[in-house]
Amino acid sequence: MAGSGSPQPKKPNPPRKEQSDLRKPLQVMHISRKDEVQSQEDLDSNNAKDNAELKRTNSTKDTSGKTLVSPSKPLQILNQGNDIQVEIGSQSSVELTMGDLLAQENLPQRNKPESPSYNLEDFSERKVDEFDFDEGAFLAALEENEPIGNTGEIAKGSVIGVESDGVYVDIGGKAPGFMPKSECGLGVITNLKERFQKGLEVEVLVTREQNADGMVTISCRALALRKSWDKALQLAKEGKVVEVKINGFNRGGVTCDLEGLRGFIPRSQLNEGEKHESLVGKLLNVAFIEVTPDNRKLILSEKKAATAEKFSKLQIGQLVEGKIISIKPYGFFVDLGGISGLLHQSMITNGSLRSLREVFDQGDQVKALITDLDPGRGRIGLNTAMLEGLPGEILIEKDKVLREAEDRAKKAQTILKPKEEEEEEELK
């Protein structure tokens, strides 16, 4: 009703008239070309060629009659990484179809790199002989560049120069080896030019490898000492007795010279240890106790020399006679005139032995063959089983076996000598 206070319904707003576009948006086609990457310089040059060709034509029509490109609106291609943007014009209403894009294939080809062609025969396996390889030249190059003179190596050469501080020796390297005056030999050398004349052939030991100039340090003294230590080790192993001259003393003993080495004899190893200072200048026969080249330790003994002299008179296969001085669970110790030998239980008989005292007792005289001899350690191995005719004969007829020991020993020696020769050849 007209006078009522009820609110009137709101009328809907009429739809607004859409504003016509005053300016058509920029038409851009985005094309992804991942298979071809071109530089900006290539694109610019290609754009110029395309625009020139497009100006010569009025228009290009596709099958549907749509204009592809207007002559007044040149084609512009923008490069952005792997993507290419084609701009046709800012105010043109032209459209592009897939046929239009395919038509671009007829345009001049861009500078696309050709893929290399390979021949499978190029990858066939080739033999070493097919290459230009000269084995002789290769080995000669290696030998020429190989360093001469490693530390600890023995070299031979000739003297080519003598200076006040040392001698130069040609050992075949790029540069001569230098031997300092203190390394020219054992003892003191007063006149180098007289001792080392030019052209003299010498044998030296390399003590330091070559420096930047290719020169190595060599020594006659070090080589002489090495040979002396080797000789001392061999003499000690064989249990030899050597003669030395005493050249000094101290509270503990006396010193001597042995093949250029400094040896020491403790007072306890001297026959006259109480007056050891009076031995200076005298000659003594000594044996070896300890030889250690690494520590330059050479210990000798005058008392042991007597034992060593007795060992020097013994040999394997020799028949010896002695007195049993001790009985141990493993055998008998026999005194052989100042030195003792062991008659082991396994060397007594080839029969079945129940007790050691079944055969010999302490104080008995026994004859036995020497089957093992170690002068360096002072060991002598004895054997009575080889004197038996039948296994266990010494258990039944001990007196007969000992009485015929010399004749039986000759037969056993024919067996032992070949074995001894084989052992010596193995050691050599």
Average pLDDT, integer, range 293-313: 88
Q: Given 188, 223, 258, which residue is the final one in a domain?
A: 223
Judge if 302 and 352 occupy the same domain: no
CA distance 333 to 39: 103
Q: Is there a domain that residue 165 lies in?
A: yes
Q: Is there a domain that residue 62 lies in?
A: yes
CA distance 73 to 400: 140
Q: What is the mean pLDDT of the chain?
A: 75
| Pair 392, 357: CB distance under 8 Å | no
Helix/strand/coil (H/E/C) assignment for every residue in 308-353: HHHHHCCCCCCEEEEEEEEEECCEEEEECCCCEEEEEHHHCCCCCC
Judge if 415 and 365 occupy the same domain: yes
- The torsion angles phi and psi of 9, rounded to 5 degrees, stand at -65, 140
Q: Which residue has the higher pLDDT, 400 or 58?
A: 400
Range of the domain at 169: 154-223
Residue that the structure tokens 């003594």 belong to: 284
Q: What pLDDT was estimated at residue 334?
A: 95
Judge if 348 and 367 occupy the same domain: yes
Query: 68 Cβ partners below 8 Å, 6+ apart?
Result: 59, 60, 61, 62, 94, 96, 100, 103
CA end-to-end span of the chain: 145
Judge if 325 and 293 occupy the same domain: no
Q: Is there a domain that residue 213 lies in?
A: yes
**How do residues 236-246 score in pLDDT, each as one tens digit?**
888 888 999 99
Judge if 290 and 352 occupy the same domain: no
Question: Per-residue confidence at 285, pLDDT binned at 50, 70, 90?
Answer: very high
Judge if 326 and 375 occupy the same domain: yes
| Pair 71, 89: CB distance under 8 Å | no
Q: Is there a domain that residue 3 lies in?
A: no
CA atoms within 13 A on the CB side of 38: 21
Q: In the chain, what percentage of residues exceed pLDDT 70?
A: 63
Q: What pLDDT was estimated at residue 15?
A: 52
Question: Per-residue confidence at 40, pLDDT binned at 50, 70, 90?
Answer: low
Q: What pLDDT was estimated at residue 370?
A: 93
In this structure, of 110-114, 320-324, 419-423, the range with the lowest mean pLDDT score is 110-114
Q: In the chain, what percentage of residues exceed pLDDT 90?
A: 29
CATH number of the domain within which 290 lies: 2.40.50.140
Q: Is there a domain that residue 122 lies in?
A: no
For the cut 60, the answer to whether the pLDDT of residue 411 exceeds it is yes
Q: What pLDDT was estimated at residue 117?
A: 56
Judge if 210 and 166 occupy the same domain: yes
Judge if 300 and 198 occupy the same domain: no
CA distance 204 to 217: 10
When divided into structural domains, the chain yields a total of: 4
**How do residues 59-107 score in pLDDT, each as one tens digit?**
444 444 444 444 444 445 444 444 444 454 444 444 555 556 555 555 5
Average pLDDT, integer, range 257-280: 89
DSSP code of 246?
E
Q: Given 307, 326, 357, which residue is the final one in a domain?
A: 307
Judge if 295 and 327 occupy the same domain: no
Judge if 199 and 294 occupy the same domain: no
For the cut 90, the answer to whether the pLDDT of residue 341 exceeds it is yes
| Pair 255, 247: CB distance under 8 Å | yes
Average pLDDT, integer, range 294-316: 88
Q: Given 307, 341, 359, which residue is the final one in a domain?
A: 307
Q: Is there a domain that residue 63 lies in?
A: yes
Q: Is there a domain that residue 110 lies in?
A: no
Judge if 320 and 395 occupy the same domain: yes
Strand-by-strand arrangement of the 76-80 sheet: 28-32, 83-87, 76-80
Judge if 318 and 393 occupy the same domain: yes
| Pair 285, 302: CB distance under 8 Å | yes
One-letter identity of residue 236: A
For the cut 50, the answer to whether the pLDDT of residue 34 exceeds it is no
Q: Is there a domain that residue 116 lies in?
A: no
Nearest alpha-carbon partner for 329 in 364, 362, 356, 358: 356
**How do residues 111-164 score in pLDDT, each as one tens digit?**
555 555 555 555 455 555 555 556 777 676 656 555 566 778 888 889 998 988
Question: Per-residue confidence at 345, pLDDT binned at 50, 70, 90?
Answer: very high
